């Protein structure tokens, strides 16, 4: 069957009786929507803080060379590429057995509470290579724990409602909470570090606070979603090995097209996130990069309802293209930041933020539609398989993006330092910072545009 028309109906939603109204009652209350969306604050914390601080923690506090640091931030996420589909299999088995995958959310919450602080707990005076090994192992454990929340959390969006319009609304709220979480963690985490005179103690205190907040958001989400109705037939749930998951998900053209575009854009967003502290410090001359990071997010929070409106009026695919173009425009204009007044340079960052909001919302709103399309065509519910692959791709991208930034800095001669040490960076390294924050992510996002254009579902 072709993909020319819409496939907006879950195969397992309750059939309408003859003479029933064409508009079905809402599946989700406002409280349910908010409760589910609160979970995004937890995903925001784990996605933001390591991406924002781990690279500069390694290079500017622990004295780890940029090339070695790139491996530290990359290897745990590459492990997740294989581990996340396995979690998807486990959660699908839970659906087949019990009809509910929500219990995995608790495992993720407890894991974050215990494991997250370990990434920033390297004792002062540890040799750079030993410090790199410490962070690598801690990050690997924390990323594995996070998988138990992230994969089922995304899959639930395809199960707690079968309405495409409700999914757009649900994702707009979810991304809104996610952006707020990114803002709070992105601004607050550096502030916590700076409150203590000793950098090592500051990073440890930040890790404890952030880990507790991530776990709290996850537990609130679990308490709300665990008893929500599921619009899925338990008897049709199937479980597959991780390799079979990859093959199954990749065989679905709408999902394959969407996830490929999303991964490219996540690579770009990951590069922007990792490059922001360096861009703030060496291009804008603003040492407190939490302020600049806030400007990357505040406009996104404000315009999120606007992107939901655009999605309802113009469609998700068009909204995705428009937001991507704005994101690219803001980054390209930031190449002029060093020659512009600071206020103008910060305004350009706001343009990037507006585009970023749409780039986050639209693919997440389109993902449940691809799962529904697959269910309608195959007669099987494989939300966990699809979201396991999706999350694996996202996780890898948000690791490779920062790794590319660190590799670019290493190639251009960036000098790593330990806590309290100050050096003057070579001119080529400053150019590398500019390229890492602007040109690199623009190229990656540009590669995603033809894929978005060819996305086959109309929704």
Q: Residue 99 sits in a domain of what CATH number?
A: 1.20.1250.20
Asked whether residue 2 is domain-assigned, the answer is no
Integer-rounded Cα radius of gyration of the chain: 21
Q: Decide if 251 is inside a domain.
A: yes
Average pLDDT over residues 120-139: 92
Please give the pLDDT value at position 15. Answer: 38
Domains of the chain: total: 1
4 is a domain residue: no
> Quick one: pLDDT at residue 338?
82
Q: Quick check: is 375 in a domain?
A: yes
pLDDT, tens digit, 9 for 90 and up, residues 325-374: 999 999 999 888 888 888 888 888 888 888 988 888 889 888 888 887 77
| HSE-CB of 6 using CA atoms within 13 angstroms | 13
Q: What is the largest CA-CA distance in the chain?
A: 76
Backbone angles phi, psi at 418, to 5 degrees: -100, 170
Mean pLDDT of the chain, nearest integer: 80
In a domain, 22, yes or no: no
What number is the average pLDDT over the span 23-38?
76
Angstrom distance (rounded) from CA 353 to CA 358: 9
Per residue in 162-212, pLDDT (tens digit) is: 776 776 777 778 877 877 887 788 788 888 988 888 888 999 999 999 999
What is the spatial distance between Cα 348 and Cα 93, in angstroms, rounded to a whole number?
A: 47
- Report, as an integer, the average pLDDT of 243-262: 80
Tell me whether residue 402 is in a domain. yes
Whether the CA torsion 117, 118, 123, 127 is positive or negative: it is: negative
Which 3 state secondary structure label does DSSP give 16?
Answer: coil
Which residue segment(s) compose the domain that 47 sits in?
A: 30-226+247-453
Classify residue 118: in a domain, yes or no.
yes
Whether residue 459 is contained in a domain is answered as: no
């Amino acid at each position: 069957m072709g993909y020319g028309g819409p496939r907006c109906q879950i195969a397992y939603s309750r059939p309408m009786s003859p003479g029933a109204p064409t508009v079905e009652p809402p599946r989700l209350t406002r409280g349910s929507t908010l409760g589910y969306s609160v979970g995004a604050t937890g995903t925001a914390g784990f996605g933001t803080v390591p991406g924002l601080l781990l690279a500069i923690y390694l290079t500017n506090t622990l004295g780890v060379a940029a090339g070695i640091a790139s491996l530290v931030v990359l290897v745990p996420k590459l492990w997740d590429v294989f581990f996340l589909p396995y979690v998807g299999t486990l959660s699908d088995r839970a659906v087949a057995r019990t009809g509910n995958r929500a219990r995995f959310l608790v495992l993720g919450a407890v894991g974050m509470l215990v494991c997250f602080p370990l990434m920033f707990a390297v004792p002062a005076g540890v040799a750079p290579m030993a410090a790199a090994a410490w962070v690598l192992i801690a990050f690997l454990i924390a990323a594995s724990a996070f998988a138990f929340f992230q994969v089922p959390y995304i899959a639930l969006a395809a199960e707690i409602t079968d309405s495409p319009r409700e999914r757009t609304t649900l994702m707009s709220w979810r991304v809104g909470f996610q952006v707020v979480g990114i803002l709070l963690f992105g601004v607050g985490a550096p502030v916590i570090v700076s409150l203590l005179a000793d950098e090592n103690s500051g990073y440890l205190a930040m890790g404890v606070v952030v880990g507790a907040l991530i776990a709290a958001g996850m537990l609130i989400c679990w308490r709300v979603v665990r008893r929500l109705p599921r619009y899925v037939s338990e008897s049709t749930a199937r479980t597959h090995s991780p390799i079979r998951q990859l093959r199954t998900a990749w065989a679905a053209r709408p999902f394959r097209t969407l996830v490929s575009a999303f991964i490219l854009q996540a690579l770009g967003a990951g590069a922007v996130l990792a490059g922001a502290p360096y861009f703030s410090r060496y291009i804008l001359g603003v040492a407190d990069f939490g302020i600049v990071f806030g400007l990357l997010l505040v406009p996104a929070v404000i315009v999120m309802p606007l992107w939901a409106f655009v999605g309802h009026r113009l469609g998700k695919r068009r909204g995705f293209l428009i937001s991507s173009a704005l994101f690219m425009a803001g980054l390209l204009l930031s190449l002029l930041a060093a020659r512009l007044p600071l206020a103008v340079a910060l305004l350009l960052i706001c343009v990037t933020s507006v585009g970023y909001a749409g780039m986050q919302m639209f693919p997440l709103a389109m993902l449940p539609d691809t799962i529904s399309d697959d269910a309608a065509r195959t007669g099987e519910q494989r939300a966990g398989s699809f979201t396991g692959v999706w999350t694996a791709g996202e996780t890898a991208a948000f690791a490779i993006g920062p790794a590319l930034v660190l590799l670019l800095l290493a190639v251009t001669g960036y000098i790593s330092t330990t806590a309290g040490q100050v050096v003057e960076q070579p001119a080529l390294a400053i150019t590398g910072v500019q390229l890492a924050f602007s040109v690199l992510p623009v190229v990656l996002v540009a590669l995603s545009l033809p894929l978005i254009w060819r996305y086959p579902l109309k929704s």
